[in-house]
Structure 1
Amino acid sequence: MMIWRHIVVIFGIFCVTSAKFTDLENFIRVIGSLNSSDSAISYLNGSVYGKQPGTNLQKLFNFEGYNINRKLRQQDGSFLSLSREFVVYRQPNTSQILQVWINKWTNKANEIFYVANDPVNAVLDSPSPSQTLPHYRPQYLVYNADIVLEYPNPLSPDKYGNYSAGPIYDSVELFAFFANYIDLFNRTDSSIPMTGTWMRKSEYLPWMEMATTAGGLYYTTMAWKCNEGEGLSCVADDIMQLIKKYYPKYEYAPSKEEEPNETSWTVFKKVVDQRREAGLPDIIIPEVNTTSNSRTMSNDVDDRVLNLLYSWPLSMAVNGSAWSEIPGKQSICLFNINGNFQFDLEHLPEYNGYRVQLDGFLIVRDPKTGMILKNFTNPITGKNNTLPKPIVGLDFVFSKDSFYTMDIPSSKVVGLLGAQSSEGSHNSWSVNMINLIFPYSELSKSPPSAHFYGTLGSFSSWPTWMEMDDVPGNIVVKLTVSK
């Protein structure tokens, strides 16, 4: 997850400094703590979806856990980030922690491997790109960290055929860390409350035994920092039971650097290798499928959020970037984007879901100079493409279980998560995600004066105007939004 060494800079940097702290120090205060004796806990909660070509997005799991980290200042002014992370997969209707999953595509029982990555370390010598929201009267600040991962797959196809999607590991991770602008610059605390969004596209998990089956997984979560000084009290009770019984080291952040970093792929490989050496089968299905803690998931949207979003028209400023994802090749930032959308939400009783319409304009800019583009020189094909008209209209339909809110008391906000997919002509497709954050203080205001912010993410086939039908891969777009 947080493999900071591979950060790809998408936006230009908005320098954020104060008399008290440097921009790097403020970044550390937002994502962790300047106090090296503290273990900062970044919690995450959301959903995992699967999609195969020509099919709609399917919700597979709820996804919940945390990263526990420590930041150590180095002599050169950088920070060494030491962390480990633990996340479980939940049954989406009952929220039970799963140990076995009946694969929706193969109808086979799969042994679930929790995310138990230790260590997850990095050297942070500069802050992620940042910007203030809204630009005309800053209330919030966001650091964006967008990561495209392309490296040799630890699970080589010749030795781990059932578990390997190929010789190259390919994924995209989109992080956004939001903090209150006034708190960041008026307070002297070593740690500042943070609420964030995390979106991810990846190959199937190795324990799903999907080999080279076409398709993959899409993650969307809210993330937040637990209150300083409260330890692991923010962690769900059933997760803490697992930690205390089987994973006690995840109660503390590491205190010294260890190598190499672990991922779900390397952890899976270690377990399989150990089992093979012991003469055991690669996969061992547990006798017990779920934990005993069961509760019905309502997947509701907070009435205060609905009251705000139903108040059409809502004008949202957007800005971000588009870049390439081609397996085995380094990602290229294609262009930057800024513009404005009118946000319109409609309840669809017959569909038991919601419809979101975004109408407005998007301006395309050169990622190096910031100049507005009328034509696009494609760095992948070398062609000179004519850009479409800047007026855009987007129409998304979300099922009820894929459009819901969660209360985040430690950040004093309500988070909204939405995920959906669309299929078009000529094998075109898109997976679209909306993660919005509504501060408590804004939900009590009248809709015209209320502010909210968040992230829009899209993974899709190449746009027709790019003339790239014969090029493998897809385009990735991430937009920071604010109202």
Structure 2
Amino acid sequence: MDKFNLSRRESLGLAALATGLAAVPAVAGAHNKKSGVDFITKIDFKDPKWNRDVYARLDADIDPTKEKCGWIKGKAMGVRPNEKVRTLFGVEGFSFVRVKKLEDGSYRRMLREIVFYTDLETGEILTEWDNPYSNETVKVVPIANDPFNFTISEFLPEGPSYGGLNKDLRERKPFLQDWEYGPNGTMILNTGIDLMYPNALQPSKWVRESAGVMNRVSEHFIYVVEQKDVENPELTHIPHIGSWSRVTPWLPWMLMGTAEGQINYFTHFQTIPEGVAGLPAHLVKAARAMDEKWLSAPTEDYGPSLSSLEHYAREQTPAPVPAGWEPPKAPEAPAGFPPRKS
């Protein structure tokens, strides 16, 4: 299988479900020390410490001498009232992550990620894009987050603060995740977060970039793994494939202002064991042209951890506002729609 040309079925995480591999019995000992890192291997969905350890092994490699590379690819759709969902551009990128184990058994994960927008036909990385909603050519700004760090502990992460903008932090609860057993010796994890917080791009200043005073963002992930890997005391990282979806306001560089609508991302992802050598060459070349740092994980913890929206507010400048400019309008509803109630 060409790992950079996954079929629809494979990209949804179903390839692992068709392996036909039987699940192996649970490891007798609850903890592993063979790798020099102590972690729980005996599956227990109701144990916050097991959830902590297995999630850290998914998200990263808990051997602090190693870094994990992840690759992501998919598409971004535009959603407006009174018209079909429109596929706008491709999405492709990668991340590097490293963890440090803390004294209380938690893991501090330290990550850099970069995601490019691509032409739907050629796959080439876009530097400009013809916005079909506004009939304007705009400059494309990739996602480039350095860092995006948080602590993986036996308690549910309180949620990203985005430089203090997000005050709606989750209460302290045990870290219990949505796991289930799949067919053919697999396990499936569903996880995500739904947020509503003040926009770093306030419309009073960022007239053309801002979708409004608040950001409504949702991100959801599906991981598919093999049970035998979860229980393997030799694996400090658990190989996986999965999907990532995101609902977010119009991207600021689209210059849509407060126009009705949103962007939906639909992507698949997987671990790249070879690191840089296993990534598509065009991604590596583009990232290296920006900065060599994108090709490795942080070795120290620093911050703040911001999303692409906050980075945009710090790194870009507001676009000029032409006289008489208005946000692009969605089409009018067809006559007689919605139907009147009798």
Q: Could you say whether these structures have the same fold, taking a TM-score greater than 0.5 normalized by the shorter chain as the test?
A: yes
TM-fit CA distance, 1:271:
2.3
Aligned ranges 1:203-282 → 2 under 5 Å: 203-227=249-273, 230-273=274-317
Q: Identity across aligned pairs (percent)?
A: 25
CA distance 1:282–1:122, shift in 2 (3 Å): farther
Runs of 5+ consecutive residues of structure 2 not aligned to the other structure: 1-25, 32-38, 41-49, 155-174, 322-333
Q: Matched residue pairs, number?
A: 263
Structure 1 residue 129 and structure 2 residue 157: aligned?
no
Aligned ranges 1:90-169 → 2 under 5 Å: 90-126=118-154, 129-134=177-182, 139-169=185-215
1:26 counterpart (54, 59, 63): 54
Q: Output the CA distance in 2 between the equivalents of 1:183 and 1:130.
A: 18
Structure 1 residue 184 and structure 2 residue 195: aligned?
no
CA RMSD across the alignment: 2.3
CA deviation digits over 1:129-187, x for unaligned, max 9?
142323xx671122222110211100011111111111111111111222110122134
Q: Output the CA distance in 2 between the equivalents of 1:128 and 1:146.
A: 13
Bigger fraction of residues in strand: 1
1:49 counterpart (73, 77, 86): 77
CA distance 1:128–1:83, shift in 2 (3 Å): farther
Q: Given that residues 34 and 191 in structure 1 are in contact (C-alpha distance below 8 angstroms), is that contact kept between their aligned partners in structure 2?
A: yes
TM-fit CA distance, 1:250:
0.7
SS of residue paired to 2:236: coil
Q: Given that residues 132 and 139 in structure 1 are in contact (C-alpha distance below 8 angstroms), is that contact kept between their aligned partners in structure 2?
A: no
Runs of 5+ consecutive residues of structure 1 not aligned to the other structure: 1-15, 284-422, 429-483
Letter in 2 for 1:102: D
Q: Output the CA distance in 2 between the equivalents of 1:104 and 1:169.
A: 23
SS of residue paired to 2:126: coil
Q: Given that residues 209 and 254 in structure 2 are in contact (C-alpha distance below 8 angstroms), is that contact kept between their aligned partners in structure 1?
A: yes
Letter in 2 for 1:198: W
Q: Given that residues 128 and 145 in structure 1 are in contact (C-alpha distance below 8 angstroms), is that contact kept between their aligned partners in structure 2?
A: no
TM-fit CA distance, 1:426:
6.6
Aligned ranges 1:256-335 → 2 under 5 Å: 256-273=300-317
1:84 counterpart (107, 112, 116): 112
Q: Output the CA distance in 2 between the equivalents of 1:138 and 1:237.
A: 34
SS of residue paired to 1:177: strand
> What's the TM-score, normalizing by structure 1?
0.52
Q: Given that residues 30 and 193 in structure 1 are in contact (C-alpha distance below 8 angstroms), is that contact kept between their aligned partners in structure 2?
A: yes
SS of residue paired to 2:231: helix
Q: Output the CA distance in 2 between the equivalents of 1:161 and 1:427.
A: 32
SS of residue paired to 2:95: strand
Larger RCO (CA under 8 A, 6+ residues apart): 2
> What's the TM-score, normalizing by structure 2?
0.72
